[in-house]
């Protein structure tokens, strides 16, 4: 019996002691069609049904394990235990009642950690299952043999797409030792009064866009009001270290009729004492003041 050290152990009995031994060769992902955390899911498996999955992950990333991974669980129909002794490890996930919402970032992070552990612990190969018996990673509706009655919507369209675009590639890159980027988005809807022709550093929710040694790829999007059509808008990122500033290139945009929507992008690398900032200037007709009405920064960072 194998228990993932990264999950909370909530053993479901008597199933955990009485069900057959399997040799785990697959991970199959599910959605629960219920907004249940790990403890609620455990209570349901324990008290209300003799079905169960090996794992469940809540919206906040909390991961629970109910059955050892070398014991059969019941979520995958014919893949629970095949005649050759192999079987699938199953993971349920908190969802809305229609199984239409995407996994949260915290859920995907936990699914990736689970996928990496299964690769290391049980040698599950780093590929998407090519048939219902093929060792690898998949989700419930991929093969009719995995679902009672031959078909299911589980885990939903949004999560099936996330499996292919984020979760499975994340398992592969993490298992190979590549660092995963962290995503961050910050916005600020408080108006900032701007003087024409004067650079001003914009804060978002935090004082700095990023802090410390790492690689970043960020985009700032601004909504500007009060600029005459054709006015020049400039933005630049800079690294701050003590009092030293290292400026990136100036990026130039032009104001349009009504609100102006301007975007500024930069990739770069920072050292341990650096913070990343963005500043803006615009040259308005007759030197009139203008307003930053909305600002958002979004990006990926790899800590070094
Ligand atoms: Zn399912």
At 233-281, the pLDDT tens digits run: 999 999 999 999 999 999 999 999 999 999 999 999 999 899 999 999 9
How many angstroms separate the alpha carbon of residue 184 from the centre of ligand 1? 30
Ligand 1: distance of its center to the CA of 95 in Å? 11
High-pLDDT (> 70) share of the chain, %: 99
Measured in degrees and rounded to the nearest 5, phi and psi for residue 115 equal -60, -40
Upper half-sphere CA count for residue 281 (Cβ side, 13 Å): 10
The predicted pLDDT at position 177 comes to 83
Dihedral of CA atoms 247, 252, 256, 262 in degrees, nearest 10, equals -50
Distance 92 CA to ligand 1 centre (A): 7
Q: How many A from CA of 90 to the centre of ligand 1?
A: 9
199 C-alpha to ligand 1 centroid (Å): 54
The candidate with the shortest Cα–Cα distance to 136, out of 54, 26, 30, 29, is 26
- What local confidence, expressed as pLDDT, does residue 302 receive? 81
Largest Cα–Cα distance in the chain?
A: 82
Dump the DSSP string for 273-296.
T-EEEEEEEEE-GGG--EEEEEEE
CA–CA separation, 43 and 39 (whole Å): 6
Q: Say how many Å lie between the CA of residue 297 and the centre of ligand 1.
A: 36
Q: What is the mean pLDDT of the chain?
A: 94
pTM over 0.75: no
pLDDT digits (tens, 9 = 90+) for 45-71: 888 887 899 999 999 999 999 999 999
């Amino acid at each position: 019996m194998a228990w993932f050290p990264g999950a909370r152990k909530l053993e479901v009995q008597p199933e955990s002691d009485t069900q057959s031994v399997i040799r785990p060769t697959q991970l199959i992902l599910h959605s629960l069609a219920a907004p249940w955390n790990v403890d609620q899911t455990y209570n349901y498996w324990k008290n209300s049904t003799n079905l169960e999955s090996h794992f469940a992950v809540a919206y906040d990333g909390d991961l629970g394990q109910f059955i050892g991974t070398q014991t059969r669980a019941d979520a995958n129909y014919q893949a629970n235990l095949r005649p050759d002794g192999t079987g699938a490890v199953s993971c349920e996930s908190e969802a809305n009642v229609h199984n239409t919402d995407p996994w949260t970032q915290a859920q995907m992070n936990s699914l990736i950690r689970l996928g990496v552990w299964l690769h290391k612990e049980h040698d599950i190969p780093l590929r998407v299952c090519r048939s219902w018996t093929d060792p690898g990673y998949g989700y419930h509706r991929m093969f009719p043999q995995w679902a009672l009655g031959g078909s299911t919507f589980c885990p939903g369209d949004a999560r099936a797409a996330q499996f292919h675009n984020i979760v499975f590639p994340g398992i592969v890159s993490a298992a190979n030792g590549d660092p995963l980027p962290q995503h961050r988005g910050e916005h600020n809807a408080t108006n900032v009064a701007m003087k024409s022709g004067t650079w001003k550093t914009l804060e978002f929710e935090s004082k700095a866009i990023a802090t410390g040694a790492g690689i970043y790829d960020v985009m700032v999007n601004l909504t500007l009001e009060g600029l005459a059509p054709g006015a020049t808008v400039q933005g630049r990122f800079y690294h701050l270290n003590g009092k030293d500033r290292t400026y990136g290139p100036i990026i130039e945009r032009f104001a349009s009729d009504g609100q102006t929507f301007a975007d500024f992008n930069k990739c770069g690398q920072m050292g341990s004492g650096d913070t990343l900032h963005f500043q803006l200037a615009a040259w308005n007709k007759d030197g009139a003041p203008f307003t930053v009405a909305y600002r958002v920064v979004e990006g990926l960072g790899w800590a070094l």
